[in-house]
Chains A and B, each alone.
Chain A
């Protein structure tokens, strides 16, 4: 069963604009959420995380928002750059369980 869902398989934005990637989850036990970025022929690399005690975490151009009541999180990239073009996976886990569940990924294309 897909406990973590990324309903948009792809997203295309213009350089300099905002990219918003969305993720929904169903398991209310999840309390730690992560975003990974994956380039072709490479393993995913950690981007940013947020725990359920927060509703926002910012790191440079990347901000993750968490809406626990809606079981929804989003990743904002501002401003988007062509080098951000990659597949983005959201992931979730319960704090005491290292079984991490991933979404199917969203392919972001940033056009110059």
Chain B
């Protein structure tokens, strides 16, 4: 069974640009969550999508947005990039049924560097 895949693995952008990251969940998983990992901050929750709808959202500015497609693949977009957006962006998938405990399976991440 294939794991969570993320593309691209590495990205270098300059301030002011925008970027789109992609995540393909494990087959059958309907929930995709996005996290930002920076040194000292751990994993900070960005948002979660389930069945093409944003179900949960963390405390990030509106420059961070996402969407999910009917095949559960998800994209995350960051507009007007800032130096502080340099981070490892992780996506995680799970079955996603509410009122049940779910373990998340993480992808390898996309390393974004903003110059």
Contact = CB atoms under 8 A, between A and B. Distances in A.
A43 B101 contact: no
Contacts of A96: 98-99
Given A43-B4, A43-B109, A45-B106, A100 B45 contact: yes
A8 to B, nearest CB: 13
B55 to A, nearest CB: 7
Interface string B37-63: 000111111001010000110100000
Interface residues of B, number: 31
A34 interface: yes
A98 interface: yes
B33 interface: yes
B53 to A, nearest CB: 12
A46 B104 contact: yes
Interface stretch (B11-19, B66-74, B77-85, B88-96): B88-96
Nearest to A41: B108
Contacts of A42: 108
A28 to B, nearest CB: 18
Contact-residue size bin, chain A (C-beta under 8 Å from the other chain)? 20 to 34
A82 B59 CA distance: 37
Interface stretch (A55-63, A71-79, A101-109): A101-109
B20 interface: no
Interface of B: 4, 31, 33, 35, 40-45, 48, 50, 55-56, 58, 90, 92, 94, 96, 98-109
8 contacts: A96-B98, A97-B56, A98-B50, A98-B94, A100-B33, A100-B45, A102-B35, A104-B40
